[in-house]
Amino acid sequence: MAKSPSKTLDAYAEEALSALKQEGTYRQLRQVEGLQGVRMQIDGRAALIFSGSNYLDLAAHPALIEANARATQECGTAAGGSRLIQGNLTLHESLECELAEFFGTESALVFNTGYMANLGVITALASPGDAIVSDSLNHASIIDACRLARASTHVFAHSDATSLEAILRELAQSTKKPSKIFVIVDGVYSMDGDVTPLDRIVEVAKHYGAFVLLDDAHGVGTLGKNGRGSAELFGEAIERAIDLRVGTLGKSLGSFGAFVTCTQAVREWLINTARSFIFSCALSPGSVGAARAALHLVRKEPWRRERLQANAAYLRQRLAETGFSSAPSTTQIVPLIVGENAKTMKLCERLLKRGFFAQGIRHPSVPRGTARLRLTLMATHTESEIDALVEAILDSWRAES
């Protein structure tokens, strides 16, 4: 006779949830209503939005909505299968050609999410006998992919080229040298808003014969003269030196999905070995249509990223004037470190009551003791709205102190 478990799954769940509540890391979903934009409804309250990743305010742009609807009308609501069976639509191939042309690479391949892109790319290309050298603050999807890849993983101090070089030197001097070495960094770090020093990272990586993988989820569309992201800030030579770039279609491009830019040979390699690509339904036609329209607007309307970065600079300046530091941010992601979990979430709720949504972020998204408000800007925020946010933060902070 089968043995019954000593406790129900619900009992285990209650224990785990109780522990999270004691630690101050228990999370709940918020209800968001309304058209994506600067003003929406959060948990039934009208609020100015300073928390999302719709940086260029394209998610409700008429051109994207029209392109989404047109692609849906022409192809249906779903791709109908995985890309290797029947889901490889002309729309997918067209978007990939346009992405490759935009970034100046031979090829591109679309994935369903940024998480799936990192998981698919890293586990496909890195194998036992290889080495991965990863920044200490890389995104969770990179960390998980490194674990699954079964290559030896080494972590260097955040954005520290000297730390990176020490690891690469040790690998080069090892009696059992790795077959391939991958250096993996974020372009813009999603919790601090700082840009990785790609020029120095690339220089060191290439000196030791390593391949460079850049996850530029928050840089694509928002940085660089042409919107090509963090690598563009450092010039064409650095852009060309990047072996693979992962980007997202769901943040600044206002749609859904992700992509990797690479050579044609690497694209074919990924198509044949990236499990998160092979064993998943293809992106819906509507999402692909919207992404293509967004890519056109990124080219056509540079004022959006210019205004976005001007807004971010203005917010950092206003915070500094009131005594708050947003270091090390230099982008549209502006952290306001609070420290304690409970204090952070109280501040978040106080702001929401006043009509501002700035989500509190706690461990494990950030290191313990660095809980913060993660303020994010949009191209269409006004200076008066930013002023109002800063005043509300100051008043709410004083009320909590």
Rounded Cα distance between 206 and 242, Å, is 10
Cα-based angle 29, 355, 341 (whole degrees, multiple of 5): 50
Query: Mind telling me the catalytic residues?
Result: 190, 218, 251
Q: Which domains does the chain show, CATH number per domain?
A: 27-55+303-400 (3.90.1150.10), 62-300 (3.40.640.10)
Which residues, 6 or more positions from 282, have their beta carbon under 8 angstroms from its beta carbon? Answer: 79, 80, 81, 82, 83, 87, 88, 89, 92, 112
Instruction: Give the C-alpha distances (Å, rounded to integers) separating 100 from 6, 145, 183, 310.
Output: 55, 24, 22, 28
Cα-based angle 242, 245, 248 (whole degrees, multiple of 5): 160
Closest CA to 380 of 293, 295, 311, 296: 311
Cis peptide before 364 (omega within 30 of 0): yes
Q: pLDDT tens string for the chain (401 positions)? A: 677 788 999 999 999 999 999 988 899 999 999 999 999 999 999 999 999 999 999 999 999 999 999 999 999 999 999 999 999 999 999 999 999 999 999 999 999 999 999 999 999 999 999 999 999 999 999 999 999 999 999 999 999 999 999 999 999 999 999 999 999 999 999 999 999 999 999 999 999 999 999 999 999 999 999 999 999 999 999 999 999 999 999 999 999 999 999 999 999 999 999 999 999 999 999 999 999 999 999 999 999 999 999 999 999 999 999 999 999 999 999 999 999 999 999 999 999 999 999 999 998 889 989 999 999 999 999 999 999 999 999 999 988 76
Ramachandran category for residue 361: left, alpha or beta (phi over 0 → left; psi -120 to 50 → alpha): beta
Closest CA to 258 of 217, 298, 226, 289: 217
- Helices 161-173 and 198-207: crossing angle, nearest 10°? 10
- Residue identified by tokens 């249906």 is 76
